[in-house]
Amino acid sequence: MEEVIKKLKELRDNTACDENSQGHCGCEKFDEIIDMIENKSMEKNTKRLHHIDTFASGDNEVYLSGKDEHGKDFAIVFEAHEFLSWIDTDYIKERLIKHIKETY
């Protein structure tokens, strides 16, 4: 992404301003696009594994795969030790039971 931003800045700097633009040459548009890209690249990438159809574990890795929120194939690979240290199955069970009781 940094390379794209660098090339956009070079293009902006090497594009001559239109003297008839009444103060609104293309430079502002370049800056606007650059800002949009920089802001987008700083956002957290959140995906939803909507439907899980595969679980596997081996070679110190845990695999979950299925379909994302748009129906496209999606897979996540975790380091097994980290996965086990972060996943609190008792807490998940408690929250799920509470949700089921409140919903049904």
Model confidence pLDDT, tens digit, residues 16-69: 776 666 555 667 777 888 888 877 766 667 788 999 999 999 999 999 999 998
Sign of the Cα torsion 95, 74, 40, 33 reads negative
pLDDT at 21 (0 to 100): 61
Where would I find the beta strands (DSSP E) of 10-48? none
Q: What integer pLDDT is reported at residue 19 of this predicted model?
A: 66
Domain boundaries, the chain: 2-42, 49-103
pLDDT given at position 53: 96
What is the C-alpha separation between 51 and 27, in angstroms, rounded? 45
Residues 6+ apart with CB under 8 A from 69: 47, 48, 50
Q: What is the pTM of this model?
A: 0.51
